[in-house]
Amino acid sequence: MLKDIKFKKVNNVALAMVPESKKGEDTLWYSYIINLKKKTIFNILINSKGYGKINDEQRKTSTLRYFIEELKPDEFKRFEPIDPNLLHMAHEFWISFQENKKMLDKKYIFLPETLNDDNMVEIPSLNKKGVLII
């Protein structure tokens, strides 16, 4: 029974979206996973998708999947660019990983229109400004 299973809350694994651009190119928002724990996490699986309305028509992006073998304490990994034309959509990331030989997971959602200057903070691990969910 599901009521008998104790689900452990995921803490100290963050997801950040950071705007980055090269000279003469459009700004892309890159997704980063950040391990804020004091221990390494392993076998990280990331599913990402976008959804929302474009011209009053419901749309969704392809589901993309990423695998990261391990992230050491205070380490980060950049894994996906977001095209500026898709910033008005919601971006959902479902992250699963192993910690202490147990599988944990957490869903992170950047709601439509939240990827903007008003929501940016300094992200110490990256030494960059971006939108952060912990």
Distance of CA 35 to the CA centre of its chain: 12
Q: Cβ distance 134 to 36 under 8 Å?
A: yes
pLDDT attached to residue 110: 96
Length of the chain: 134
pLDDT attached to residue 3: 62
pLDDT along the chain (134 residues), means of 10: 65 95 83 96 97 89 97 96 89 95 94 91 92 95
Q: Please state the pTM of the whole predicted model.
A: 0.89
pLDDT attached to residue 53: 87
- Structural domains in the chain, CATH included, are 15-126 (2.60.40)
